[in-house]
Amino acid sequence: MDDKLVTMSPAQKKAQRSRNIAIGVALAVLVVLFYVATIVKFGPSILDRPL
């Protein structure tokens, strides 16, 4: 299998890292966005449920 592995050049590694960080940040922002929007939309009634 080893001979099938592709070695990345430093430029490719750097670019991949940059893309990884951007994708990570974008997905995290999306989570926060929907999480907070849920709270905002429900308002105080978010706690108003049978426990």
Partner 1 sequence: MAVVENIGREEIRLSEATAGDYFALLKPRVMSLVVFTAIVGLVAAPGTMNPFIAIIAIVAIAVGAGASGALNMWYDADIDNVMSRTSKRPVPLGRVLPGEALAFGLVLSALSVLTLGVLVNWLSASLLAFTIFFYAVIYTMWLKRSTPQNIVIGGAAGAIPPVIGWAAATGTVSLESVILFLVIFLWTPPHFWALALFKAGDYGRAGVPMMPNVAGELSTRRQMFFYALILAPLAVLPAVLGYVSWGYGIAAVALGAGFVWKTWAVLAMSSDDKVMKPAKQLFAYSIVYLFAIFAIYLVDVVAWRLMATIGA
Write each residue from 5 to 44 as x if it is in contact with partner 1 (CB under 8 A), else as -, in one continuous string: -x-xx-xx-xxx-xx-xx----------xx-xx--xx---
Cβ nearer to partner 1, comparing 10 with 50: 10
Please tell me the total number of residues recorded for the chain in this structure: 51
Q: What are phi and psi of 8, to 5 degrees?
A: -90, 140
DSSP 3-17: GGPPPPPHHHHHHHH
Cβ nearer to partner 1, comparing 5 with 47: 5
Which position has the token pair 């974008």?
26
Residues that bind partner 1 (CB under 8 A): 6, 8-9, 11-12, 14-16, 18-19, 21-22, 33-34, 36-37, 40-41
